Structure 1
Amino acid sequence: LNLIDYLTTNNRCLVSSVTRIRRTSLVNNDFIDSEQSSYEEIAATIPNKDDPSMPCLTFKSCLLSFLFIVIMSMVHQIFWYYKVKFAIYPISVILLSYPLAKLLNVILPRKSIRIYHWNMSLNPTGHFTVKEHTIIAIAANVCWNYRNTYFYSNSELNYYLSNMKFEIGFFLNISIQLLGYGLAGLMRKFLVWPSGLIWPSTFPIIAALRTLHDAGRKRKQWKITYSTFFLIALVCQFIYCWFPHYIMIVLTAFSLICIIRPNNLLLAQITGDQGLGLGSFVFDWYSITQYLGSPVILPTWALWNILVGFIIVSWIMTPIIYYTNTWYSKAYPIAMFGVLIPDNKYKPYVSFNAEGVKTIVGLDSNNQTVYQVYQTGYMSAMSIVSSSATLACLTAVIVHTILYHSTDIREQFKTSVSSKGNDVHCKLMSKYPDIRGWWFLALFLMSLIVSLITVQFSSLMPWYDVLLAILVAFLFVLPFGILTSITGQIIQNQSVAIICMTIGSALLKRNSSLQTFKAFSYTTFCQTLYFVSNMKLGHYMKIKPRVMFFTQTATCLLCSIISYCTQYFIVHNIKGVCNGTYTGWSCQNSLSIFDNSPLANNGLYFKGMNYNIFLWSFLIGAILPLPFWLLRWKFPNSRWLKYVHIPLMLTLTSWMPNVSTSTFISWLTVGLLCNWLVGKLWWRRYVYLFSAAMDAGSNICLILIGAILTSQNVTFPEWWGTRAMCPLSNADSVGTIFSLNWMG
């Protein structure tokens, strides 16, 4: 194994002896079977054989992909502004496309049609192949990732530039997406081809795809088939989801101790959902996975590292900061998110102006700036600690990458997919013509030129700042890509977001320029890793590289165009969409990043007087991996040293307190419990199916609740299960309850 495989192997208890399977090969080489992967998750989920003659880019797959691209792009953009917030998950697209494809099998003729000089069969095989289904899944993934990144980073630009010309936003939108894809293609040899970079986030989708196309298959150890298990789990989750989201909302933040003693302030702070969360639990899959992703795909060693980081941040450092009243933290709730602007009563005052943009009440725009007001702001105790962990994570992941992965990174410069002989999937993929690196380089350079021209003519920011923003994204793609691909962490990263905004705010004065800088840095960073993850999905499912290139490029263009045109139409044709005069529509979602921008623009860390001591977090993060690396070098046979991963301890804690402690506890409990139960290889595919079924059941239920009930203001009758059980968990030290309906 190469170094990355060796390090990953020693970081995990996942390696079994390589199972050798009898090689079979037909004379015409149309079916290839090879040895199994040495990673248990891959061996349990990913097929170790390929049929090169199986069609993938067909009329059916293109038609259904286009249909769902249009639906997902429009639905996500429209409901981003509507009061009912819901989305279409890729797993739902996988399920819906299956019966539609079966219907097309019956309707479409088998004969070929001639288009100019090409012959094309509308239904070449007469059945729906798993590779065709994978093409649809990849297209759905691209649309979903667009929502997760571009929406959260760029939607607010229209509120800084209300007179933005259509063509400026149009080309800005497309160029940012293709910059990420071009950069992803250049990173294939570092993040896709190495066998040790397993990308666990792809496993539930692959498990669902294989289940739908191997409907009758089952394991000898269990009588239930994969498809039956998936269907049962989906239906059960669909039925149960109605309780925490409509009938019994208390299940989304349940604390028995707080229910028994609701008026005890100390118990509320310790056990409440908005406090330290001891004894609090979330009984809702959607709430658990909304920010952190599925916990069952992470390996056990990764969950233990995250648990250690969570305990240090939440249950050790936060109480010390709060109960010693450091930085006046007792004046605020122990775990409130955001920056608080105090008056003489230490309460935040934020409102919406006529355009729907949040403003600070009492701010004299002639004499004060948002920067000056925020420079005197304060944060809750947990925000202080988690923000420090966020800063430390940046330097920790860079140092960790240099110490543990630098040798392998150097080796990857000289390799190709055909030379990765140690990996069964690279062997199978080497049968197909690869894409030359200049394809992605040309795409990247063309997108860069369009970006520079667009920014220069729009006066959003100087053209050379675009180059700096892309450089920042490039520097963090590889270290965080390795971290994500090994551990299964979510791609969205608070550490990278904050450093992008910090650099932007140091160079640029206008908020519109700051948001543009963040779009070219953080959005490019996220999109690059999302596209890399999709490439790994295609790699596992043996999709031809050139088909992958066409699929992702076409989907990226279509999704960007449809989404931006829909957004432009809503903002410029629906009067009062932002100030609340048009019932049911709101721009508050699009302002979520604007709310966070003062965190980097205010100088709390870099220019202010309150928290600049925490700049030492950068140095602490750089030092922390060193002693464990030295100890591991000194004691190579030590078992526990193999599992220590400092960046992993820090990265997820940066989401607190936006993600509550009770959500973290529930997420870790589910992950550790599933990993403990999965004692054998054959169980793992059921676990990934379970994750996919939970996502699908929740998504279908939430769409129905939003479309049928919430949109019509139909609420469940009030009873014990719909009331807030622990309001004092969001109170300061004297019991003053802070409202959550404010900044952040």
Structure 2
Amino acid sequence: MIEENSLNTAAVELRKSEDTINNLPISPAVSTLESAMTINEDTPYQRKEQCLIKQALGNKQLFEGENTKKSNFYGIETYSSDDEWDPNDNKRDSDFYGYGPEISFEKENSTIPEVAVTVPIEDDVTMLAFTFRMLLISTVVVATTTSTANFFFFKLNRVYLDVLSVIICAYFIGNGMAKLPKSWTLLNPGPFTHKEHTLIAIASMAASNNIGMNVISLQRLFYGRGNDSNYVNSGIDIGNLSSILFLISTQCIGIGLGGILNKYLVLPAAFWWPETITSANLIHTFHSTVSHIITKYRMLAFFTVFGVGFVYQFLPQFFMPVLQSISILCLAAGGASGKFNPPNEPIVKQHYRQPLLGQMGSSQGGGILSLSLDWTAISFLDPLVTPIWSQANVLFSNYFLAWVVTPILYFMNTWNAKNFPLYMPANFYLNGTKYRLQQFLVNNTLPANEAVPPMWIPPYWAICYGCGFAALSSVIVHYLVHYAANSYSVFFQSTDDLAQKDIHSRLMKRYEPIPLVWYVGCTLTMLMVGVYVTTFNSIGFQISSDFWVIPLALFIAIVFAIPTGIIRSISNQTIDLSIITELIMGVLKPGFPLANATFTVFTNAALQQSLSCAAQMKLAYYMKVPPKAVFVMQLYGTILGCIVNYFSFDYMVRNVPQIWRATHSMFSTNQWSGRSATILQTGSEIFGAISPSRFFDGSNTPYSLLFWFFLIGAALPLVFYIAARFFPRAGLQYVNWPIIFQSAAVVAGGHGNAILSATLVVIGTQYFLRKYKRSFYDKYNYITAAGLDCAATAVPILLYLLSQLKRITEGETHYGWDDISDLIPYYALKPNPTTFGPDYCGGFKFFKGNHTGYFNSTSTNYTRGHTWQ
């Protein structure tokens, strides 16, 4: 081997060259690419890296010993003593920056820096992939993750067993099964491979995106209840079979659509799907068969970060809940007492107890100056994974809307803002009480001639709706000015020609591709199932003979698939279609809230599942997994996930009274929250029952101005595109208006405490660390993200299991669904949530009296003399 002092000298020389390394480019924003479909493969990124290696090692002899060559998982070849460094040979046996042997750097690598340092470019076509062992492990993890996701969907701080947790669990289970007797070939066909591991992760990801459950939750929790206050069996139940078929149709139709779009969203190297890099990096780290320094360090880094994070997460999750959200604004204003707060308006104070600055600074409000030390909250924005330019657009959007625009609208009393809580996701009467639509519905529909009082929403939510309008028009214009010409060109190219432009796609040509007819057949079959289920269950979906509803939903998903898919594939940001679909269905079929929700959910489920499947196929390309095996596991994971999702939800609704109380009140309990379900229900009331013609264009509503956002959204991308041409050095190419408009409602989902914390993490890692310690960043950034995410997921799950153990050991007859936090008495770092709020921003009991927030029409003049016709 090369002498130790020679290798150390080489490493020193490389470290001296870090100034050059630190100038390597970041992953490009969508606006910076002249052609997203083809990029010059001879990139400066690779030329700089090769130059540095040659500079450090020169033409020194690298290895001594037998004249043999060996190849491993990463494609590293060890050379004989006769082999010397060839200036024309771009292979090397140092790690990415020369600190020890690791990955061979082929002459050709990915054109995206993050992919080049993470994903190897070697493949073994004989490696096991589709095995019974893989199928068995997939069944276990899919059942576990989907049932767990249902439980945490109604929790105040939602946590999921995400794909990283699945990768870790599957690794230990798979390796454990690989130690079984070799004669048990069904359970132990050989060593547990990274391809089996990847297929397990793909099955889990396919099962985790079940948007169709939103319609089922509306049916069971909000509609058909009448005046029955019993939370069990008083909603609409369309039956087990119909519910499961509806879920399967909404999800599997996305698999077919995603496969059809592989040519446009998966094959181009520029569409690198950042969400897949962490998973690819973790799987590669686990399955490296070489005892190289960098591999050991990455494995050690992962388990160190996971261990430290696991211990630390007990502080915000159990011992010191105040760390979940430290509201500097609330504390400066006198805490829950609000002694230094500006006084609430009398009309709001009568119904809403939280002080004004408490609303602005709380995590469930605007999150102004709210800092979270809980990675569960911070990780919502993926600050270590999402590219910095994308994060900048997201953070700017939320700072501007939640921190600047909303307070200005409040103090100017725009749209009677002082009558309502600032950030509450609910509909109101003009006097500030919660809008009770149920008293006007007949068989869950609103008659066209029914006179109803005007519905009002807080200005923050009005602007969010406007931004939703702008996001849809901006994404179309953004696509037209940047990518329409390239998409047209790709349409006439063969997949073989496209695959030649990317090393990973070229390696995947060894495997038999999936016939297009498979994807088309899946799409059409699920379309027919969706039409059948929705039209023959008119009570639950309110579609009846309108068979055109589901085909129209699929058509809209197809129109927006490529424009929104391009943005997600490079920015890790998703463009949601809820606003535009609610608006369209509200115009076509007014007065039917469940029909509106069904149309909205079907469109979004088809779109988001198709993009998720495209991301899963990109992960398969990185890991060199046979495409047909991927398709089978996507279908298997989706169908099994739908079945488990439904039955776990059904069990929760029937046995957990806290869910009904959380979804039918204006507040969250200590641990339970109905915010996510309430947001969809609010939209179904505005666009479905009330209808856009009444809400946006009625005689007593100011919200018609929001339609101008369509024009604003269409104009801004074009203006900035032209400006970037005249001022190429101004950085305007990094301004992405679809992301800005779409991300405006991040705070709306109850993530206000994540904004400031995520900003600090992004600046510290993706700017300073990447700029001044690029080598360290490239080695450990994604593995650190994986460790922190897994720790943040593991602790809440463990606390829940302990709470159930406590219930069983104490012989409780009721279900102990709330966690075991009552074992820690209230103190300064664990404030009473009812009295002080979890972050000293005021208690959760917003409304006086014993009612849950519904309006009592016999005691309050709710109409003020006005009605909508």
| Structure 1 length-normalised TM | 0.84
Rounded Cα–Cα distance in structure 2 between residues aligned with 1:321 and 1:81: 31
Q: Does structure 1 conserve the Cα–Cα contact (< 8 Å) formed by 2:446 and 2:592? A: no
Partner of 1:719: 827
Structure 1 position 510, deviation (Å): 2.5
Q: 169, 191, 194: which is aligned to 1:96?
A: 169
Rounded Cα–Cα distance in structure 1 between residues aligned with 2:31 and 2:720: 18
Partner of 1:246: 318
Partner of 2:273: 199
Rounded Cα–Cα distance in structure 2 between residues aligned with 1:368 and 1:712: 36
Partner of 2:200: 136
Q: Percent identity?
A: 25
- CA gap 1:595/1:370 in 2 versus in 1, 3 angstroms: farther
**Structure 2 matches for 1:704-743, cutoff 5 A?**
704-709=798-803, 711=817, 714=820, 715=822, 716-723=824-831
Q: Does structure 1 conserve the Cα–Cα contact (< 8 Å) formed by 2:368 and 2:402? A: no
Partner of 1:313: 401
- Would you say 1:507 and 2:591 are equivalent positions? no
Partner of 2:301: 229
Matching residue's letter, 1:518: T
Matching residue's letter, 1:701: V
Rounded Cα–Cα distance in structure 2 between residues aligned with 1:505 and 1:50: 51
Rounded Cα–Cα distance in structure 1 between residues aligned with 2:365 and 2:174: 49
Partner of 1:549: 631
Q: Does structure 2 conserve the Cα–Cα contact (< 8 Å) formed by 1:334 and 1:382? A: yes
Q: Does structure 1 conserve the Cα–Cα contact (< 8 Å) formed by 2:479 and 2:563? A: yes
Partner of 2:720: 628
Rounded Cα–Cα distance in structure 1 between residues aligned with 2:738 and 2:31: 19
Partner of 1:655: 746
Structure 1 position 514, deviation (Å): 2.1
Rounded Cα–Cα distance in structure 2 between residues aligned with 1:391 and 1:626: 17
Matching residue's letter, 2:373: F
Matching residue's letter, 1:697: A
Structure 1 position 77, deviation (Å): 4.5
Bigger mean CA offset, 719-728 vs 244-253: 719-728
Matching residue's letter, 2:492: K
Larger radius of gyration: 2
**Structure 2 matches for 1:394-405, cutoff 5 A?**
394-405=472-483
Q: 686, 689, 692: which is aligned to 2:780?
A: 686
**How many pairs does the alignment contain?**
701
Secondary structure (helix, strand or coil) at the match of 1:179 reads helix
Q: Does structure 1 conserve the Cα–Cα contact (< 8 Å) formed by 2:74 and 2:121? A: no
Q: Does structure 2 conserve the Cα–Cα contact (< 8 Å) formed by 1:217 and 1:226? A: no
Q: 327, 347, 353: which is aligned to 2:433?
A: 347
- CA gap 1:667/1:340 in 2 versus in 1, 3 angstroms: farther
Rounded Cα–Cα distance in structure 2 between residues aligned with 1:374 and 1:134: 54
Bigger mean CA offset, 294-303 vs 86-95: 86-95
- Would you say 1:646 and 2:752 are equivalent positions? no
Secondary structure (helix, strand or coil) at the match of 1:711 reads coil
Structure 1 position 349, deviation (Å): 6.5
Rounded Cα–Cα distance in structure 1 between residues aligned with 2:140 and 2:838: 45
Structure 1 position 661, deviation (Å): 3.8
Q: 592, 600, 609: which is aligned to 2:701?
A: 609
Q: Does structure 2 conserve the Cα–Cα contact (< 8 Å) formed by 1:4 and 1:194? A: no
Structure 1 position 373, deviation (Å): 8.9
Q: Does structure 2 conserve the Cα–Cα contact (< 8 Å) formed by 1:90 and 1:144? A: no
- CA gap 1:649/1:25 in 2 versus in 1, 3 angstroms: farther
Partner of 2:564: 480
Q: Does structure 2 conserve the Cα–Cα contact (< 8 Å) formed by 1:4 and 1:408? A: no
Rounded Cα–Cα distance in structure 2 between residues aligned with 1:3 and 1:648: 12
Partner of 1:670: 761
Matching residue's letter, 1:705: L
Structure 1 position 42, deviation (Å): 0.6
**Structure 2 matches for 1:18-417, cutoff 5 A?**
34=106, 35-77=108-150, 87-109=160-182, 122-124=187-189, 126-146=190-210, 149-158=211-220, 160=223, 162-214=236-288, 225-262=297-334, 263-266=339-342, 268=358, 271-273=361-363, 277-290=367-380, 292=381, 294-343=382-431, 346-348=432-434, 376-417=454-495
Secondary structure (helix, strand or coil) at the match of 2:796 reads helix
- CA gap 1:374/1:681 in 2 versus in 1, 3 angstroms: farther
Structure 1 position 690, deviation (Å): 1.5
- CA gap 1:726/1:324 in 2 versus in 1, 3 angstroms: farther
- CA gap 1:87/1:654 in 2 versus in 1, 3 angstroms: closer
Partner of 1:426: 505
- CA gap 1:432/1:25 in 2 versus in 1, 3 angstroms: farther
Secondary structure (helix, strand or coil) at the match of 1:283 reads coil
Matching residue's letter, 2:685: P
1:479-517: CA deviations, max 9, x gaps?
11111111111x3x4x41121222222223323322222
1:607-643: CA deviations, max 9, x gaps?
56221111100011000111111122334x4241222
Rounded Cα–Cα distance in structure 1 between residues aligned with 2:153 and 2:734: 41
| Structure 2 length-normalised TM | 0.73
Matching residue's letter, 1:488: N
Rounded Cα–Cα distance in structure 2 between residues aligned with 1:563 and 1:728: 33
**Structure 2 matches for 1:525-604, cutoff 5 A?**
525-567=607-649, 593-601=680-688, 602=690, 603=692, 604=695
Q: Does structure 1 conserve the Cα–Cα contact (< 8 Å) formed by 2:427 and 2:435? A: no
Q: Does structure 2 conserve the Cα–Cα contact (< 8 Å) formed by 1:341 and 1:374? A: no
Rounded Cα–Cα distance in structure 2 between residues aligned with 1:513 and 1:325: 35
Rounded Cα–Cα distance in structure 1 between residues aligned with 2:123 and 2:838: 56
- CA gap 1:31/1:341 in 2 versus in 1, 3 angstroms: same
Consecutive unaligned residues of structure 2, counting only runs of 5 or more, are: 1-27, 55-67, 77-103, 224-234, 343-356, 663-669, 804-815, 855-869
Structure 1 position 163, deviation (Å): 4.8
Partner of 2:98: none
Matching residue's letter, 1:649: I
- CA gap 1:92/1:274 in 2 versus in 1, 3 angstroms: closer
Structure 1 position 654, deviation (Å): 2.5
Q: Does structure 1 conserve the Cα–Cα contact (< 8 Å) formed by 2:724 and 2:730? A: no
Structure 1 position 327, deviation (Å): 1.1
Say which structure is richer in helix: 1
Matching residue's letter, 2:132: F
Matching residue's letter, 2:123: D
Matching residue's letter, 2:626: K
Q: Does structure 2 conserve the Cα–Cα contact (< 8 Å) formed by 1:388 and 1:617? A: yes
Structure 1 position 52, deviation (Å): 1.5
Structure 1 position 369, deviation (Å): 5.3
Rounded Cα–Cα distance in structure 2 between residues aligned with 1:235 and 1:337: 37
- CA gap 1:587/1:338 in 2 versus in 1, 3 angstroms: closer
- CA gap 1:727/1:168 in 2 versus in 1, 3 angstroms: closer
- CA gap 1:706/1:741 in 2 versus in 1, 3 angstroms: farther
Rounded Cα–Cα distance in structure 2 between residues aligned with 1:519 and 1:306: 24
Matching residue's letter, 1:707: L
Rounded Cα–Cα distance in structure 2 between residues aligned with 1:560 and 1:579: 22
Rounded Cα–Cα distance in structure 1 between residues aligned with 2:389 and 2:242: 47
Matching residue's letter, 2:537: S
Query: RMSD of the alignment, in Å?
Result: 3.9
Q: Does structure 2 conserve the Cα–Cα contact (< 8 Å) formed by 1:286 and 1:698? A: yes
Rounded Cα–Cα distance in structure 2 between residues aligned with 1:649 and 1:575: 38
Secondary structure (helix, strand or coil) at the match of 2:179 reads helix
Consecutive unaligned residues of structure 1, counting only runs of 5 or more, are: 113-120, 351-358
Relative contact order higher in (CA < 8 Å, ≥ 6 apart):
1
- CA gap 1:143/1:269 in 2 versus in 1, 3 angstroms: closer
Rounded Cα–Cα distance in structure 2 between residues aligned with 1:544 and 1:567: 34
Secondary structure (helix, strand or coil) at the match of 1:419 reads helix
Rounded Cα–Cα distance in structure 2 between residues aligned with 1:370 and 1:738: 31
